[in-house]
Structure 1
């Protein structure tokens, strides 16, 4: 360790001597038309030397105030400022200067005729600058009521899942920005749904760098797939939003016995308002409903007992499991209320602040049935469960960025949350001999009921300081994070257990206990990163990270005392005290080479050392002090090639170490389910994952086509897998007797796990029907080993499928989308005794249509056809889900709306899932608590104070505002804003 630190120090001292002069160029860009800042204007350093353009820092974008900073180390420099629909600005920088302020740069509108602008807009929807693709919103037709999310769905290669997750060219979008600012950082989906599509000028897609890489110019290879939504002129000083209310018919459902139950009338009420005043933006959203629309992503309650995460190969610290202290009714029917507040402000050029507050209350209930066949154990199980839960959560987040000088930047982030989960759940579990469901000799059963409550408090903060040290690219980043958490929970359990007995026929036993849990923990982490340019094209980085986490957990269980008629008998299975801590050290070196836009190379090497200490006590038993040490060397490499504009090839290779979790290591029994007991294995070793990924993308914006293909291979060493067996007799484990025929599980290390897959998609316009088509295919193979009753069990899974999406671009009056997802799943489970083969062929066809019959009258419809054919008995599924609505607009600018909506018209909604686990278990799940057919009547009002605002009219006339919009599009692009380069 000392030698490694000595080598790092020596390297830093040596490369520091290579300093050379640099010139810092700043300025502000405004529009001559209205004098407002131009957001997202592209500022290019030495644009005539195209071989250098893709180097970090060569192409930047103006921020929300129209300002930019670019640094050059060449003797002679020039600056080009470009923007869609405006003339380029060009100037030369005199040699010998170290700081140049270009002042205010005024961009002139392009001289282009109206007809030419319309032709260009139809033929070219986007432009490419470096890694950024910027789409012109005016080139995509959406209904007047569409949101930014609806507009995004029409972009080539973009898919939006039902939960709001966004994917672009096969990559998940992890950050959404509006005019260069993060908006609802904890839930970016809210940014898309709160912003109307007619307020969007353009949308840019790019692979953003990490915060440290953007500041230092040292490309660390990390990429964050990001979109930036640029709004139209006038939106930055406006108030807009909507409010709605709806009331519907009663909701009914049939339980497993076919009994009809009434849950009462459906309702939905809510709204949102955005108040934007230049550099200060406020957004408020909220609502209440009982139609499963939760609005915000509800984080898991019980996070107080969790530890730190992140870091390649870092040991996971999930603290103490709180699963038995929570009631989960998700997947059922939920009545929820939510409130969200977001503020984003720029006070000066040096200080930016973002504040977000979310509240959610959710009351849910669920009714489910599960059946499974266990190949190895030659048994089948049936379980039925019901749950009623109450979740209440408050969360507050703030983010401050302060740049006191041009060479210093400070980031301070805080997060505070409180969560409460309480509820009631009940379950019945039964096991029988044989692989055939619901047949065979009785083995055992348990009838359980739980009443739970868990409160959690979390406090997190981070402070980072970044300093530029004179030479372009030479930077130092120092910072740290801290967190504290607390959890308090209670669980009351009553279980009646039956077991088959050769002597008495059936043995009976009862569990009647209460358990109290108190946890607390804290985490402290610190790191520094030093970046140094070696040559004009090469840079090196050194880093060190220290992380310390400590968790305390005190769990006390008491059994019922029939004589005293109270809970006062200590339950040894659930009473324990745990005190554990983790310390991890990570140090590494990274090398980056970028010459021209054609080649970027990254190499990295990390050394990680982790220590865990654990002490535990149980009644009459003290676990000896346990200490675990892990270490790993983790190399990584990335090669990125850009043969020409619009094309890219990327190769990633890395080796990650994964350390066992606390649950997997700790020699403690988990007896939440007395018929299925588990325990950790302190002799586990760390596992390794070797990963190779290749990605190729080509975009042709002349004909608006895009092709993307990706292939990956992952090979795992010493995988931590389940070791499960059925006890053939009563067995004492850790001082507790586990009954015969119970399932006992632990963990072990096995080799042989690996998988590979490929994904390809092609998007193109279909001019004949004025629509866009995206066609994709995918395949994945996975091999997963496990141990079952001492036998090696291997599951081989082959999954192939496709995704075909057709989106309309006909007009604002006709908007439709058709999606088709076929898939084929072939699985083979092999062990020394049996081989099981299953096949599942599924089809999912979805469609949505929004059509304006007149200026005021419209119809909506969406539907899905689901077809599943399987080798498993009684698992085929065929059903249709159809929803439809009719409504009309009224008031000025059609701001008011009345609509009648019918859901699940054919009353075929259902939830059935068939799955095959890697251990050979075949499972079947039914959800009886689902929304089915109902009708809702709703009213909605939209408002927008934009000056001269004219919603995109369904009329054919050319309004002055519409004409100015087209004129501003210039050579096929959007208006102000949109490009977020790096």
Structure 2
């Protein structure tokens, strides 16, 4: 009864499971060849009774058909190989479970007292999933998942915990296929220990709606799944607590605890510090934390967190299985961040062949930001033909901030143009509520399905600010002193629904007919009051407005898919979309603008395995983007006398073409791999800010321009250097972008080129010796013809970053750690070309039983050289901004850590039998395999 009320609410959404078969290919992990003639059994997990038996064919393939829902154990035996056992669960709306390549361990051989044991290959490719075996990458005993994945080719993590995989930003991390703190990738990699990981799987995760049908809707994101070790993890408790005090009143305390009890998993995380240490990612629903102001072409940063941060954070994650039909996961996170940032910058804006404006800015800002996040995912399998999903989320944010800016502009002759002193205080409260409800029904005919989804989001922000500005305009010989209060509440909602019907065509084909409709509404009500000497009572109609906009969308299409397996699959389709954009100005002068757009949106996807070790993926999709409510408001905003802006109610939607080509080569026999990822994008009616710079005052207005083009490429080659037990990774990349713009009534383009390369030597010796040697360089080139007709201005700069990390652990528990990195800049503005080193080190001792306790003395920025330097290229005006921001500098800290680790002794088997990337096709993609501890990959 305690679940009945919940389930009654869920009956309007859904997802179905109808798994009926299990297939896969047995592979030799050492030779990289298939294993034919092996005996393969499928047993019931409950009583170990044999459900079915078969023999793998000459290509190593096996198939079990006509199976009912439930949990099974896959067992494979063959002469010369160890017995393989792996968990398999048939559920979650899949007519087949395709385990992909299943690695069966070679027989252990004893030679004169020497034991030779085969091991799983470090990297294997399964469809569009790259799978890394964790035990092939050696780390220290106290390493986190972040430390582990940094050793894996093609995966990088910056100082703020942002993960990049194969050149794309990783947006989601799951644990055994289940949500872990919603979409916060940083939470998982910084709070889970590396020694509980069996595999890391990097893949393209389809949206929840696309997983209903298996037809990509263009909303895929790069994701990581963490597969934990063996069945022993089903009964485990592990984590740590720590506390440290340091010089300059620094402190760092917190910890995490993970309790696994069968299907129930609970994780609790906390962190409290003033040393810029964040174990979560920032999520900003109010839009008050970001920066950049729409600028592009940023590079040359040091990767240091901005300013000085004090962090208080607490989170809890829960996942479980309620009965046989309900899977649930939920999380709550609270974080409080206090930030103090001081920076200085110089901005160069070319105005012609012999004229340049220089703008110098010194700023100090402080903020206190509180954020509450709740995420939930509930899946209810009603029966073998009907299922429902509910995926709600709630975000609540409170922000208070202050700023102090001193800005001065001069021309290239040294004459003053303007001067401004500005102070401000800001307060905003807001919340965002979203829900995704899905339902799916599977008919009697295999492959014939009907699915429906209903999505809602609602956001509301209440905000106000106080602004004081003292401005001197030397060209006009005028002084302005403004003191204002601004109240600016906003509201927004988005409601959409989708219907999809799939019909099998032949043995390997599938058709999808789909229709989506939605309405998006936004409202802004800005009121401005001037100071009367006593209070803010003087209403300013020129800086006040009320504006509404509405977007109505109807989209229908047909898609065709050919092929069952992920190794050879082809998709093609086209949608027709009609959109109506209605903009209403309520105040000060009523007015309305309506526009209608009809667009054809083709899409294509092709995946093909080439030989034993290579595969290729080709992707293309067209899409549209709508202007925001702030871009559509046609009221002039002169709140800041030096930066005056206006909206444009006649803006059109932009039309974008996006394509990608990915080639992967992973030789499981030699452990060599090569990955090439190339992406391109073009856009018509691209929305840019038309900019006019006149007598030191900047005027902007959004317009549509054609001609946006970009190309991004990423290449990586990895191989082991066995003679020194080290992995070698070589990376390279090239990116290009042409961005149209309008500056001082001259329409042109800004073109940027970025060439990057790097080399990394990552040790794979043992847990006692861990080192990384790296060198990365980026060369940036930018040119623009925006500033004067018939000529182009150019800029070039280089950023180099060598580094070395060395961790040594003795067998009696003593350890020493060193992390030395450098940033070398050349080509920046005078005073910003610099070369500095950041040296961090620690020494300590592990003690107590199983070395559960640790005492560490650490030193940060030993050389007192830490800096944060960035360069930003303004594509709207070809400006160049070099900035130096204050960062945390030298301190020393003594930290005590106590680790908890109690893992059950369950027999080695697959630990990801519950992981399903819910994509409808003739079987879940990728995954399978595993060696030793077993464990298939994600069964997508």
Is 1:164 matched with 2:164? Answer: no
SS in 2 for 1:193: helix
Q: Is the 8 A contact 2:139 2:147 kept in 1?
A: yes
Q: Which residue of 2 aligns with 1:493?
A: 467
Q: Return closer, same or farther for 1:849/1:118 CA change in 2, 3 Å cut-off.
A: farther
Q: Which residue of 2 aligns with 1:939?
A: 896
Q: Distance in 2 between matches of 1:60 and 1:163?
A: 49
Q: Is the 8 A contact 1:302 1:454 kept in 2?
A: yes
Q: Which residue of 2 aligns with 1:599?
A: 568
Q: Normalising to structure 2: TM-score of the pair?
A: 0.83
Q: Return closer, same or farther for 1:916/1:139 CA change in 2, 3 Å cut-off.
A: closer
Is 1:650 matched with 2:617? Answer: yes
Q: Return closer, same or farther for 1:679/1:45 CA change in 2, 3 Å cut-off.
A: farther
Is 1:299 matched with 2:283? Answer: yes
Post-superposition shift, 1:665?
A: 2.7
Q: Which residue of 2 aligns with 1:736?
A: none
Q: Which residue of 2 aligns with 1:637?
A: 604
Q: Distance in 2 between matches of 1:108 and 1:433?
A: 72
SS in 2 for 1:381: strand
Q: Is the 8 A contact 1:233 1:976 kept in 2?
A: no
Q: Return closer, same or farther for 1:157/1:683 CA change in 2, 3 Å cut-off.
A: closer
Q: Distance in 1 between matches of 2:497 and 2:263?
A: 33
SS in 2 for 1:573: helix
Q: Distance in 1 between matches of 2:536 and 2:227?
A: 60
Q: Return closer, same or farther for 1:172/1:237 CA change in 2, 3 Å cut-off.
A: same
Q: Distance in 1 between matches of 2:54 and 2:532?
A: 80
Unaligned runs of 5+ in 2: 1-17, 24-39, 89-94, 98-102, 294-303, 907-927
Q: Return closer, same or farther for 1:356/1:248 CA change in 2, 3 Å cut-off.
A: same
Q: Is the 8 A contact 2:349 2:879 kept in 1?
A: yes
Residue from 330, 342, 356 that aligns with 2:317: 342
Q: Which residue of 1 aligns with 2:427?
A: 453
Q: Distance in 2 between matches of 1:878 and 1:763?
A: 30
Q: Which residue of 2 aligns with 1:863?
A: 820
Q: Return closer, same or farther for 1:120/1:185 CA change in 2, 3 Å cut-off.
A: farther
Post-superposition shift, 1:234?
A: 2.1
Q: Which residue of 2 aligns with 1:257?
A: none
Q: Which residue of 1 aligns with 2:11?
A: none
Could you list the per-position Cα deviations for residues 116-142 of structure 1 after superposition, in whole angstroms to 9, with x for gaps in the alignment? Answer: 996344584455655555443333221
Is 1:241 matched with 2:196? Answer: no
Could you list the per-position Cα deviations for residues 727-781 of structure 1 after superposition, in whole angstroms to 9, with x for gaps in the alignment? Answer: 4xxxxxxxxxxxx652211123333332334322110000011011110111122
SS in 1 for 2:236: strand
Q: Name which one, 1 or 2, has greater alpha-carbon Rg.
A: 1
Q: Return closer, same or farther for 1:931/1:587 CA change in 2, 3 Å cut-off.
A: same
Q: Distance in 1 between matches of 2:104 and 2:657?
A: 53
Q: Is the 8 A contact 2:239 2:257 kept in 1?
A: yes
Q: Distance in 2 between matches of 1:119 and 1:131?
A: 32
Q: Return closer, same or farther for 1:546/1:304 CA change in 2, 3 Å cut-off.
A: farther
Q: Distance in 1 between matches of 2:83 and 2:617?
A: 34
Q: Is the 8 A contact 2:660 2:677 kept in 1?
A: yes
Q: Return closer, same or farther for 1:193/1:684 CA change in 2, 3 Å cut-off.
A: closer
Q: Distance in 1 between matches of 2:576 and 2:608?
A: 28
Could you list the per-position Cα deviations for residues 299-348 of structure 1 after superposition, in whole angstroms to 9, with x for gaps in the alignment? Answer: 11426999xxxxxxxxxxx9xxxxxxxxxx97110111000100010122
Post-superposition shift, 1:911?
A: 1.7
Post-superposition shift, 1:433?
A: 2.5
1:686-835 alignment, distance < 5 Å: 686-727=653-694, 741-830=696-785, 831-832=788-789, 834-835=791-792
Q: Which residue of 2 aligns with 1:524?
A: 495
Q: Return closer, same or farther for 1:670/1:612 CA change in 2, 3 Å cut-off.
A: same
Post-superposition shift, 1:466?
A: 1.0
Is 1:556 matched with 2:540? Answer: no
Q: Is the 8 A contact 2:734 2:755 kept in 1?
A: yes
Q: Which residue of 1 aligns with 2:374?
A: 396
Q: Return closer, same or farther for 1:168/1:676 CA change in 2, 3 Å cut-off.
A: closer
Q: Which residue of 2 aligns with 1:537?
A: 508
Could you list the per-position Cα deviations for residues 348-384 of structure 1 after superposition, in whole angstroms to 9, with x for gaps in the alignment? Answer: 2310111100001111111111211111273221122
SS in 2 for 1:234: helix
Residue from 841, 863, 867 that aligns with 1:910: 867
Which stretch of structure 1 is more off in the superposition, 657-666 or 760-769? 657-666
Q: Which residue of 2 aligns with 1:13?
A: none
Could you list the per-position Cα deviations for residues 397-435 of structure 1 after superposition, in whole angstroms to 9, with x for gaps in the alignment? Answer: 11100001011110011112211001211112222223x
Could you list the per-position Cα deviations for residues 176-223 of structure 1 after superposition, in whole angstroms to 9, with x for gaps in the alignment? Answer: 332332222221332233322222233344445554565546677875
1:14-163 alignment, distance < 5 Å: 24-25=20-21, 48=57, 66-67=71-72, 86-87=83-84, 112-113=108-109, 119-121=116-118, 124-125=121-122, 132-163=129-160
Q: Return closer, same or farther for 1:714/1:481 CA change in 2, 3 Å cut-off.
A: closer
Q: Which residue of 2 aligns with 1:515?
A: 486
Q: Normalising to structure 1: TM-score of the pair?
A: 0.80
Q: Distance in 2 between matches of 1:705 and 1:113?
A: 25
SS in 2 for 1:622: coil
Q: Is the 8 A contact 1:179 1:231 kept in 2?
A: no
Q: Which residue of 2 aligns with 1:4?
A: none
Aligned length: 851
Q: Is the 8 A contact 1:147 1:196 kept in 2?
A: yes
Is 1:566 matched with 2:535? Answer: yes
Is 1:893 matched with 2:846? Answer: no
Q: Is the 8 A contact 1:137 1:203 kept in 2?
A: yes
Q: Is the 8 A contact 2:799 2:825 kept in 1?
A: yes
Q: Return closer, same or farther for 1:49/1:474 CA change in 2, 3 Å cut-off.
A: farther
Post-superposition shift, 1:850?
A: 1.2
Q: Is the 8 A contact 2:585 2:591 kept in 1?
A: yes
Post-superposition shift, 1:512?
A: 1.1
SS in 1 for 2:778: strand
Q: Which residue of 2 aligns with 1:586?
A: 555
Q: Distance in 2 between matches of 1:207 and 1:617?
A: 44
Q: Return closer, same or farther for 1:61/1:269 CA change in 2, 3 Å cut-off.
A: farther
Q: Which residue of 1 aligns with 2:3?
A: none
Q: Distance in 2 between matches of 1:90 and 1:235?
A: 14
Q: Which residue of 1 aligns with 2:8?
A: none
1:197-208 alignment, distance < 5 Å: 197-208=194-205
SS in 1 for 2:233: coil
Q: Return closer, same or farther for 1:793/1:205 CA change in 2, 3 Å cut-off.
A: closer
Q: Which residue of 1 aligns with 2:933?
A: 975
Q: Which residue of 2 aligns with 1:477?
A: 451
Q: Distance in 2 between matches of 1:601 and 1:100?
A: 18
Post-superposition shift, 1:655?
A: 2.8
Q: Is the 8 A contact 1:888 1:899 kept in 2?
A: yes
SS in 1 for 2:149: helix
Q: Distance in 2 between matches of 1:38 and 1:357?
A: 38
Residue from 412, 415, 419 that aligns with 2:390: 412
Q: Which residue of 2 aligns with 1:94?
A: none
Q: Distance in 2 between matches of 1:635 and 1:850?
A: 52
Post-superposition shift, 1:948?
A: 6.6
Q: Return closer, same or farther for 1:768/1:38 CA change in 2, 3 Å cut-off.
A: farther
Post-superposition shift, 1:971?
A: 11
Which stretch of structure 1 is more off in the superposition, 838-847 or 493-502? 493-502
Could you list the per-position Cα deviations for residues 457-488 of structure 1 after superposition, in whole angstroms to 9, with x for gaps in the alignment? Answer: 22222211011112221111112012322221
Q: Which residue of 2 aligns with 1:362?
A: 337
Is 1:269 matched with 2:269? Answer: no
Q: CA RMSD in A?
A: 3.8
Q: Return closer, same or farther for 1:492/1:204 CA change in 2, 3 Å cut-off.
A: closer
Q: Is the 8 A contact 1:124 1:972 kept in 2?
A: no
Post-superposition shift, 1:668?
A: 1.9
Which stretch of structure 1 is more off in the superposition, 278-287 or 329-338? 329-338
Q: Which residue of 2 aligns with 1:75?
A: none
Which stretch of structure 1 is more off in the superposition, 79-88 or 767-776? 79-88
